[in-house]
Chain A
Amino acid sequence: MNSLVQHLRIFGVQIRNNFVREAVYRTNFITMVIVDVIWLSVEYALFAVIYANTPSLAGWTQPQVFFFLGVFFASDALFTTLFQRNFWNFSDLVNKGELDILLTKPAHPVFLALTRWINITAIFNLMLGIGIMIRFADEAGFQGGARWALVPVWLAIGVAAATELRFAFSIWVFWTDRSWALSRLYYQFFAFATKPDALYPKFIRYTILTALPFAFIGSVPARALLHGIEPREWLQIAAVLVAFTLFNAHFWRKGLQRYQSASS
């Protein structure tokens, strides 16, 4: 319990530090908003082109897909706010020996490594994602009411999945000299998260629901919010996330054994 309070206190300090840092770089805010709005527009345009040729895609109507985009965008914005920049700097921690400092501090080094940089301005994108969800909720057939309370739960599951996945792609930096290609590979696979999982053929669908659970980022949450999911699927989500946590913890420990401090 004491440890939890201590880590929460550290997280509070990190937020304050990052808030001050972001206040200095105000143009960053506008830039991020523009980039993300265009990214969303491109995804929107892609589906608009497809729906210009068909009324329904694997049972998903156009408003349902746009609702999914809102959920996905909100989930990704939350990940960007909390973790993305830390993962970009993760390889430097190992390659430049910056991990040394974190290992000497009285808090878990993974926690410190993943909470050092917080992108507060990305919260605007979270609001934008939620705004899109609200805009298309009725047309998509979302029941609303008390079901809105489930949105934070599903966004948290989406962020947890993205974090576990990104960590699993980043951890290999202890063994490889550069993690750039693996980070890029993560973003290549991330494209699978940008479409509802119902669209995928069985093999890909199975993969993105188990070994590479990109569907947990936006697709499963959107599906769960719109139609609900069965207890079996709840269990599957929990099992996959626990398995990823164990996998990442194992390779983190192995990586630390291999770590040779500065410029390993």
Chain B
Amino acid sequence: MNPGPDTNWRWRWAALKNGFQDATAYRLEFLFEVLGSAAVPAAIQWVLWYALFTLGGATEIAGMTYMDMIHYTWISLLFTQIRGGDHDFELQEMIRSGSLSTYLLRPCSVVEFVWIRGVAPKLFLTGLALVTGLLLSPILGLNPLNLITAMGFALIGNIIHYQLGAALAAVAFWWEEGYSILMVKNMLVSLLSGELLPLTLFPAHYHWVWKSTPFYLYVFAPVQIAQGRWTPSEILTHLGTALIWLVIGWGLIRLSWGAGVRRYQSLGG
């Protein structure tokens, strides 16, 4: 039976509501999660700038002054919370444990269902980050329109991050250690997304490393846009790159899950 368009939207709305309620049911944990994942990478960045500029006496590194670096850190805080969560881990665990079976019986796509549940708290945080950014824009010297565009990029980054994670999670159909691949992906993301340092610090002959992955679209690109460092044509070029990655991600999910579900035995473990 093919559910009608009305039913289609109803389950999506229900999943979104459910995801938000689930994330905020344990408010203290939610708060810890947000504060921890925002404050610690920022503190690590600050420490590096402190060591390089204050202790090391540098005045400019890769064309950026101490204040440029601090600005980068502050603004990156608005976006590090939006980039994907760990819901790809949930997918691989469903496959591994066999609990995927109950989802396959439902009239909805399990990959989309898990993403919608996971994105609910991220949408809340996006709103919060946007309001905070707008309030601080006079202090940080941000153009509100740039900030809104940057948030849009961060949300596209969230989708790409999940798409790649979901495609990698499908490895669990073949191999019980699928979580390791996701961990490796997250480690690379932490370095290549720009949440630990501006990617311009990479030596020029290594810029191809971060440019050849979509991870820079999660944090580095939004910060560049918010700070007005990219021209409209550069923004359009990177938007084009993001759209290509969205299509690649979609294709990878179709391929990996199509093949994986055919192989799935629902036995768990």
Contact = CB atoms under 8 A, between A and B. Distances in A.
B52 interface: yes
Nearest to B30: A181
Given A27-B175, A31-B180, A53 B52 contact: yes
A57 B30 contact: no
Interface string B84-101: 000000000000000000
Contact of A184 (B32, B39, B51, B55): B32
Nearest to A47: B48
Given A50-B52, A54-B52, A199-B50, A181 B201 contact: no
Given A39-B187, A50-B197, A201 B47 contact: yes
At the interface, is chain A mostly helix, strand, loop or mixed?
helix
Interface stretch (B188-196, B235-243, B251-259): B188-196
B48 A181 contact: no
Interface stretch (B56-64, B71-79, B106-114, B224-232): B56-64
A142 B211 CA distance: 38
Nearest to A194: B44
B50 to A, nearest CB: 5
B165 to A, nearest CB: 16
A184 B46 CA distance: 21
Given A176-B29, A181-B33, A50 B48 contact: yes
B36 interface: yes
A88 interface: no
Interface stretch (A103-111, A129-137, A152-160, A185-193): A185-193
B184 interface: yes
Contacts of A182: 29, 32
Contacts of A192: 40, 43-44
A23 interface: no
A35 interface: yes
A128 to B, nearest CB: 16
B183 A35 contact: yes
Given A42-B190, A58-B55, A184-B33, A50 B201 contact: yes
A193 to B, nearest CB: 11
B177 A27 contact: yes
Contacts of B52: 50, 53-54, 57
Interface size class, chain B:
35 or more
Chain A: interface residue count, which band? 35 or more
Contact of A191 (B33, B44, B187, B201): B44
A204 B48 contact: no
Contact of A188 (B40, B54, B61): B40
B28 interface: yes
Interface in B166-215: 175-177, 180, 183-184, 187-188, 190-191, 196-197, 201-203, 206
B201 A195 contact: no
B177 A31 contact: yes
Contact of A46 (B46, B55, B197): B197
By DSSP majority rule, is chain B's interface helix, strand, loop, or mixed? helix
B48 A56 contact: no
B43 A204 contact: yes
B191 A46 contact: yes
Nearest to A180: B29
B260 interface: no
Contacts of A178: 26, 29
Nearest to B43: A204
Contacts of A198: 51
A38 B196 CA distance: 17
Given A35-B180, A35-B184, A177 B26 contact: yes
B12 to A, nearest CB: 26
A45 interface: yes
A28 interface: yes
A84 to B, nearest CB: 13
Given A176-B28, A185-B32, 12 more contacts: A46-B197, A49-B201, A53-B58, A54-B61, A181-B28, A181-B33, A181-B36, A192-B40, A195-B47, A198-B51, A199-B48, A199-B51
Interface of B: 26, 28-30, 32-33, 36-37, 39-41, 43-44, 46-48, 50-52, 54-56, 58, 61-62, 175-177, 180, 183-184, 187-188, 190-191, 196-197, 201-203, 206
The list of the 3 closest CB pairs from A to B, nearest first, reads A181-B29, A188-B36, A31-B177
30 contacts: A31-B177, A34-B184, A35-B180, A35-B183, A38-B184, A38-B188, A42-B190, A49-B206, A52-B201, A52-B202, A53-B201, A54-B58, A54-B61, A57-B51, A58-B56, A59-B55, A177-B26, A178-B26, A178-B29, A181-B33, A182-B29, A184-B32, A184-B37, A188-B39, A191-B40, A195-B44, A199-B47, A199-B50, A200-B47, A200-B50
Interface of A: 27-28, 31-32, 34-35, 38-39, 42, 45-46, 49-50, 52-54, 56-59, 176-178, 180-182, 184-185, 188-189, 191-192, 195, 198-201, 204
